[in-house]
């Protein structure tokens, strides 16, 4: 089968190759890929940013989001059958959605939302799981909470806005002025045009800030939190909790604690908290989220759909910052959302 493989770490390491079709294990479903989402995480893994913690061994197939059809099931699989339309964010060390087929543990798979096309469904597993784990599992956001989402027009940001509003929160976001109609349509109550205003001078009293930029933007985010509030970084710096989540040796806990010391100290002085966020796979939660998409509580936001053969170009498109709103997807079939 054709796949896009990381032959070596680095920007030029992704290549199209013919590789053997995977064989499903006893608890696996074999999925014929209809579409795959592009995520910033793909670049980080390709470039080896987490290679000390996520032990991928080149060559390996890249890709973290998928929608497709089950073509075979392992002997111990009980929840899926050949012909089921599914979507998934495969677990770490078992990624590989930039391919014609992928074998996925059934615990990481859910039936595709009926209301979504394959391209739309492929855009949402990672970001919807991340949004739920940030807002519900980690921050316990509920009615009346105040949430600031940086980059509200992006794939994760657009999902966070919608889910936070569904949970009853007041939502502010940063975005370019041209994206204001979109983010308001998703539920943003306050929109700060970051090209014209400094969010830290106009916002205050937030229970949660989700930051995808790091650096100065993260440090400023600490200043808009209410006492005891939480800043979650999805771009870093990673902390000791990340090492524990991945089951890394204790030496990595100490190392990552050192890397995040500056922001954690600043948070402590301000009476707030900082934590690094890295999502985890969860097929049961994806099944629940499918219901929210089918009910219209959540909707995918897609910028561009590329053909599967142009996966490297799709990656470059994302890396160059050319996506104006939402996710970029590669499709193995006819365009469902033409460029």
Q: Do the Cβ atoms of 152 and 183 come closer than 8 Å? A: yes
pLDDT in tens, 173-189: 999 999 999 999 999 99
Where does the chain have alpha helices with state H? 40-46, 118-122, 125-132, 155-166, 180-186, 199-202, 215-222, 240-245, 250-259, 261-270, 283-295, 311-319
Strand partners, 5: 15, 61
59 prior amide bond cis, ω within 30: yes
Instruction: Note the pLDDT of residue 52.
Output: 82
Instruction: Note the pLDDT of residue 247.
Output: 72
The candidate with the shortest Cα–Cα distance to 99, out of 61, 46, 45, 60, is: 61
CA-based Rg of the chain, rounded to a whole angstrom?
Answer: 20
Q: Residue 6: helix, strand or coil by DSSP? A: strand
Distance CA 287, CA 269 (A): 41
Instruction: Note the pLDDT of residue 335.
Output: 43
Instruction: Note the pLDDT of residue 54.
Output: 85
Instruction: Note the pLDDT of residue 248.
Output: 67
Is-above-0.75 flag for pTM? yes
User: In what order do the strands lie in the sheet containing 14-18?
Assistant: 14-18, 2-6, 60-61
| Number of neighbours of residue 18 by Cβ within 10 angstroms | 9
Distance CA 273, CA 258 (A): 16
The CA-CA-CA angle for residues 92, 160, 175, to 5°, reads: 115
Q: How many CA atoms lie within 13 A of 267 on its CB side?
A: 22
Instruction: Note the pLDDT of residue 258.
Output: 73
Q: Do the Cβ atoms of 100 and 1 come closer than 8 Å? A: yes
Domains and CATH numbers, the chain: 2-124+300-331 (3.90.180.10), 126-276 (3.40.50.720)
Q: How many CA atoms lie within 13 A of 334 on its CB side?
A: 0
- The tokens for 159 are 């999902």
| Number of neighbours of residue 116 by Cβ within 10 angstroms | 22
Instruction: Note the pLDDT of residue 261.
Output: 87
Residues of the chain under the 50 pLDDT cut:
335-339
Distance CA 49, CA 10 (A): 9
| Number of neighbours of residue 225 by Cβ within 10 angstroms | 25
Going by their DSSP bridges, the two strands 66-73 and 14-18 should be labelled as unpaired
Instruction: Note the pLDDT of residue 237.
Output: 78
103 prior amide bond cis, ω within 30: no
């Amino acid at each position: 089968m054709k796949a896009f493989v990381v032959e070596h770490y680095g920007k030029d390491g992704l290549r199209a190759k013919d590789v053997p079709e995977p064989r499903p294990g006893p608890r696996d479903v074999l999925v014929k890929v209809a579409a795959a989402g592009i995520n910033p995480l793909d670049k980080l893994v390709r470039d080896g940013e987490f290679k000390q913690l996520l032990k991928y061994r080149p060559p390996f197939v890249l890709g973290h989001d998928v929608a497709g059809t089950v073509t075979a099931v392992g002997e111990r699989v009980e929840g899926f059958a050949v012909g089921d339309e599914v979507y998934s964010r495969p677990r770490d060390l078992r990624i590989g959605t930039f391919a014609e087929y992928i074998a996925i543990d059934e615990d990481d798979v859910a039936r595709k939302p009926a209301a979504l096309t394959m391209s739309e469904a492929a855009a949402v597993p990672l970001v919807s799981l991340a949004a739920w784990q940030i807002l519900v599992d980690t921050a316990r956001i509920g009615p009346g909470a105040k949430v600031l989402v940086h980059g509200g027009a992006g794939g994760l940001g657009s999902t966070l806005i919608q889910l936070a509003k569904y949970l009853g929160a007041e939502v502010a976001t940063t975005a370019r002025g041209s994206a204001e109609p979109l983010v308001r349509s998703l539920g943003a109550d306050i929109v700060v045009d970051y090209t014209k205003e400094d969010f830290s001078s106009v916002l205050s009293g937030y229970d949660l800030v989700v930051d995808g930029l790091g650096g100065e933007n993260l440090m400023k985010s600490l200043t808009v939190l209410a006492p005891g509030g939480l800043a979650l970084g999805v771009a870093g710096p990673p902390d000791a909790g990340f090492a524990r989540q991945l089951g890394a040796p204790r030496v990595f806990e100490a190392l990552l604690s050192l890397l995040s010391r500056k922001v954690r100290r600043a948070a402590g002085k301000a009476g707030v908290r900082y934590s690094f966020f890295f999502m985890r796979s969860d097929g049961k939660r994806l099944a629940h989220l499918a219901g929210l998409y089918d009910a219209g509580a959540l909707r995918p936001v897609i910028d561009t759909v590329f053909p599967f053969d142009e996966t490297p170009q799709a990656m470059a498109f994302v890396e160059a910052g050319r996506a104006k709103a939402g996710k970029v997807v590669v499709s193995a079939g006819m365009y469902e959302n033409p460029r």
